[in-house]
Amino acid sequence: MNNRNKRKSLFTRPAKIALAYFLVGGMWITFVHRGLSLIFSEQRVHAILDFTEGWIFITVSALLIYLLIDRAMRETRRSEDALIESQRTLATLLSNLPGLAYRCRNDRDWTMEFVSDGCHALTGYLPEELLYNKTVSYSDLIHPDDREMVWQDVQEAVKQNRPFQLTYRIITATGEEKWVWEQGRIVPSERGQIPVLEGFISDITEHRRAMDELRKHQNHLAELVKERTQELETAQKTLVQREKLKTLGIIAAEVAHEIRNPLVAIGGFARRLQRKYPHLSESDIILKETIRLERMLDRITNYLKPVVMSPIGCSINTILSECRDLLAPELAGRNITLRLDLEPELAPVYSDPDILMQVFINIIQYEMFRIKAGDSIIAKTWSDEQNLYAEFKSPLAGEKIKEPELLFLPFDEGGESIGLPFAYRLVKDMGGLMVFSQEENYCLFTVSLPKHVSA
């Protein structure tokens, strides 16, 4: 609309001048020339009048034309001043904006036709260095991993004739990586010119870093919540287990007294029946169940019985070597290999060597009964600044254990008299930790104990 009004204004000024000139000349010829001819009739006078009226007409016309043109020029100057002021205001506004205003071609280089003064603070390049790709194109500033994404998103917005908003990285003149946010749109062309893009680019690096830090803190908080939840679940299970053990401790003595004596009698009579009637299968069943019940009572008694320890500085490597020698016949009978991967010059541990050996034997025996003939168990030791570690690794036979925490709960079916739960308790009493984990093809028991500190 403004362009049409401007063209209309420029078109009517010459028309007004020509119309005024035509009206003045017509009035002069019609009224002044005819009036003077009626008053003066002599030929000489007519000649003078013709000469005079011509100069008067020219003078009046020139004065009128001057006035009209002067008015038009004043209006033009006022328009130019307003345009200059508008451009100055716009330039001041753009120079104070924290970012880069631009006008560019829609090509792969994003050829800049206009760049605001904020270009230097954002990119490290002066505006004239980016104009028409004089020193570097804007496409060269975009991070290589983001260039295709920027191109595709802008072309999609141009195709749909809608504004676009982008977040991507640029590399400044100093090599610094910055995150920027850009908003722009396609500008319709006039008279068949190539369409261009206009928009604004601002630096959001600090905002991005703050968001990344917030995300890290959120992830860290989520991990803390997860760990705390696991700790609470473990504490709850431990509390429940302690209550069970407390209750079991109360009835343990009664159970041992009330059940063991009848079991001894039943076992004795079952053995007599077996000797008297060797082919009687029922006596075998009675004897086996009696032995199973006695083993269960032993397990209860052993788990609840206080263990007296005599801790000294001892070597985990030496204890593991003795375990291998002690279990050698049983390992050979099952065609299972126990390999030792021991860290040389391992620091001593403050523990009861006999009890620690029993813990290691129990773990090895558990894995030995679980794996197949021909498999291997690997016992490995290592240390860090505070603890010593003994790891027992064996192939995973069959499916993974669905509830591994049950391995350390007492009175579960299977196992020996001491059992994994008793070994777990002993390690805790020594100030250590026993952990079970499963990998894709292996399962691991890891025992950690504090180093022995010499007085």
Q: What percent of the chain has pLDDT over 70?
A: 72
Mean pLDDT of 230-239: 75
Same domain, 237 and 298: yes
Number of domains in the chain: 4
| Domain termination residue (choose one: 73, 94, 115) | 94
User: Are both 21 and 130 inside the same structural domain?
Assistant: no
How many other CB atoms sit within 10 Å of the CB of residue 435? Answer: 15
Q: Are residues 41 and 132 in the same domain?
A: no
- Is 442 in a helix, a strand, or coil? strand
What confidence tier does 175 reach under pLDDT thresholds 50, 70, 90? very high
pLDDT band of residue 18 (cuts 50, 70, 90) is: low
**Pairwise pLDDT comparison (219 vs 97), residue with the higher score:** 219
Residues 73 and 15: their CA atoms lie apart, in Å, by: 15
DSSP state at residue 407: G
In the predicted structure, residue 393 carries a pLDDT above the cut 70: yes
- Whether residue 218 is contained in a domain is answered as no
Residue 455, SS3? Answer: coil
- 193 and 256 in a common domain: no
Look at residue 302 and tell me whether its pLDDT is greater than 90.
Answer: no
- The answer to whether the beta carbons of residues 316 and 349 sit under 8 Å apart is yes
The 3-state DSSP class for residue 101 equals strand
Give the per-residue pLDDT at 280.
74
CATH code of the domain covering residue 330 = 3.30.565.10
* Residues 88 and 109 both lie in one domain: no
Please state, rounded to an integer, the average pLDDT across all residues of the chain.
79
- Asked, for residue 133, whether it belongs to a domain, the answer is yes
Could you tell me the pLDDT band of residue 76, with boundaries at 50, 70 and 90? confident
Residues 6+ apart with CB under 8 A from 280: 273, 274
The end-to-end CA distance of the chain, in Å, is 96
Q: Exposed, middle or buried by CB within 10 Å (0-12, 13-18, 19+), for 349?
A: buried
What is the pTM for the complete model shown?
0.42
Tell me which residue range forms the domain holding 16: 2-94
- Output Rg (C-alpha) for the chain, integer angstroms: 51
Q: For residue 422, how many other CB atoms are within 10 A of its CB?
A: 22
> Which one of 185, 203, 221 terminates a domain?
203
223 in a domain, yes or no?
no
d(CA 350, CA 453): 8
CATH number at residue 115: 3.30.450.20
pLDDT at 1 over 80: no
Of 305, 325, 342, the position where a domain reaches its end is 305
How far, in Å, CA of 437 to CA of 448, rounded? Answer: 14
**pLDDT number for residue 251:** 64
Same domain membership, residue 327 and residue 391: yes
Of the candidates 360, 341, 322, 374, the one whose C-alpha atom is nearest the C-alpha of residue 447 is: 360
Whether the per-residue pLDDT at 54 is higher than 70: the answer is no
Count of CB atoms situated within 10 Å of the CB of 357:
18
Where is average pLDDT lowest: 110-119, 121-130, 289-298?
A: 289-298
* SS3 assignment, position 338: strand
pLDDT in tens, 132-169: 999 999 999 999 999 999 999 999 999 998 999 999 99
440 with 331, same domain: the answer is yes
Q: Measure the CA angle with vertex 333, ends 331 and 336; round to 5°.
A: 40
**Is residue 274 domain-resident?**
yes
Strands 376-383 and 337-341: parallel
If you average pLDDT over each of 82-86, 262-266, 304-308, which comes out highest? 262-266
Residue 2 is predicted with a pLDDT of 47
pLDDT at 10: 45
Could you list the beta-strand ranges (E) of 44-192.
Answer: 99-105, 112-115, 164-171, 177-187
Residue 340 lies in a domain: yes
Question: Any bridge partners for residue 351, and if so which?
Answer: 312
| pLDDT of 337 | 92
For residues 322 and 424, state if they share a domain: yes
Span 108-118, average pLDDT: 90
Please determine, for residue 100, whether its predicted confidence score (pLDDT) is greater than 70. yes
In this structure, are 160 and 131 located in the same domain? Answer: yes
Are 252 and 301 contained in the same domain?
Answer: yes
What mean pLDDT is predicted for residues 199-211?
A: 90
Asked whether residue 318 falls in the same domain as residue 445, the answer is yes
Residues 291 and 337 in one domain: no
